[in-house]
Amino acid sequence: MRGTQSISMARSLLGVAMVAAGIICAITQMAKGGVLHKDSGQGIITVLAQAGAEMPRIENAKLETRALGASLAATFHEIAEKAEKPEWVGYSVEEVAGEHNACCGNYRDDGGCGTCRLENDHGGSNGSMYTSGTVKLEGSQQLVVLYRLEAKQVMRIRVASDDCTLDAGGLPFVWLTGVKTAESVAFLETFVRRADFEGHGDHQPGREALTAIALHADPSADRALESFVNPEQREELRRQAAFWMGAARGKAGLNALLKMAKTDPSPDVRSHVTFALSVSHEAGALEEMIRMAHDDSSSHVRGQALFWLAQKAGKKAVGTITSAIDNDPDTDVKKKAVFALSQLPKDEGVPKLIEVAQTNRNLEVRKQAMFWLGQSNDPRALQFFEKVLAQ
């Protein structure tokens, strides 16, 4: 009996030892750049993904880790030269600070990512599928940069915060270690500067690379974005870069937007600057929007500044908006200012619309105020119409 128990115990110990040896072997294989195949067990992949601080949770992948060679560009070229069929390459870098979440290319500020299904192109604002997951209360510190290779070319670039689970759809996945944040920015710049940046669709690698650069926590990202908004750059690139200046780059981004607001030669680009200022959380953004609403030489820009002021500022915007209605020389700007009133909270906007409809000397402006009062469904607007009709 005792002999039987000894044999059973020995078998149990042997089983534990074999499992441990398997994990150690797998870790050793990863360190040497070996491949973990899907059929080697998802549990092993998850354990290994959690074992490295840089690596996110990766599922449904034929996973390989590889230390960076002489440079990111050289290592990438070596991988791409062998990538006839689809595969993914990824690495992590420091992510810009802020209350946001990058989920499979979608820039979010409302919680965690969950699972990012890399091979599903039928959902999300830029063709990414994800399901909600655990939210990190203190925010993510690492940004995962992902490249989809096929036919020896980069076909897609995506980003994800490191609290996302990545589902690679059964494809090979090469995880690079030792990538420096500044080197990643420099490599991504090459895609932004390609001639096809203005191509149709949101899935252009250049546009996706721009998003990735904006989320890198490194001064080189600020310098790259500043170079993208120089007046000699293409207008579409300046517009896109301006948004990210406001959305993700803090004080450095605001400083660049302040310069663009005064010096960019294109009214269309400056109108995008008003939107970029509206999404900035930096002190000084609102004041610049007010200045643009008053002083910009383009009526289109002044109108856009009024619109975004109404979305952002509430009471602080009322004076600027009503001043435009009274004083702007362009009737179209006056009409846009009336629309801006309609975008204010009703307790602020409706009384002002009634005042404009009653007293403004410009017939087109009064008509515009009446129209937006009619759209408000506010009892005060109904009372005003009854009073007008009774006269």
Q: Which class does domain 284-391 fall in? A: mainly alpha
CA 121, 207, 149, 45 dihedral sign is negative
pLDDT, greater one: 390 or 142: 142
Count the neighbouring beta carbons within 10 Å of the beta carbon of residue 191: 21
pLDDT band at 152 (very low <50, low <70, confident <90, very high): very high
Tell me: the pLDDT tens digits for 48-83? 443 444 688 999 999 999 999 889 999 999 999 999
- pLDDT value at position 200? 60
Mean pLDDT across the stretch 279-302? 94
Is pLDDT above 50 for 228?
yes
What are the boundaries of each domain within the chain?
33-179, 284-391
Is pLDDT above 90 for 33?
no
Is pLDDT above 50 for 363?
yes
pLDDT band at 141 (very low <50, low <70, confident <90, very high): confident
Mean pLDDT across the stretch 247-274? 97
Mean pLDDT across the stretch 89-98? 91
**Token representation of residue 86:** 């689809």
* Of 173, 160, 137, the residue nearest 211 (C-alpha): 160
- pLDDT value at position 357? 92
- pLDDT value at position 381? 87
* Of 86, 68, 87, the residue nearest 76 (C-alpha): 68
Mean pLDDT across the stretch 118-139? 45
- pLDDT value at position 202? 60
Tell me: the pLDDT tens digits for 201-227? 667 899 999 999 999 999 999 999 999
Is pLDDT above 70 for 331?
yes
Q: Give the Cα separation of 176 and 28 in Å (integer).
A: 16
- pLDDT value at position 210? 96
pLDDT band at 31 (very low <50, low <70, confident <90, very high): very low
Distance of CA 377 to the CA centre of its chain: 35
pLDDT band at 129 (very low <50, low <70, confident <90, very high): very low
pLDDT, greater one: 13 or 322: 322
Highest mean pLDDT among 32-41, 123-132, 199-208, 269-278: 269-278
**Token representation of residue 259:** 């310069």
Instruction: Quote the percentage of the chain above a pLDDT of 90.
Output: 59
Mean pLDDT across the stretch 359-384? 90
Report the range of poorest mean pLDDT among 33-37, 210-214, 278-282: 33-37
- pLDDT value at position 100? 63
Mean pLDDT of the chain: 81
**Token representation of residue 178:** 């030792």
- pLDDT value at position 12? 45
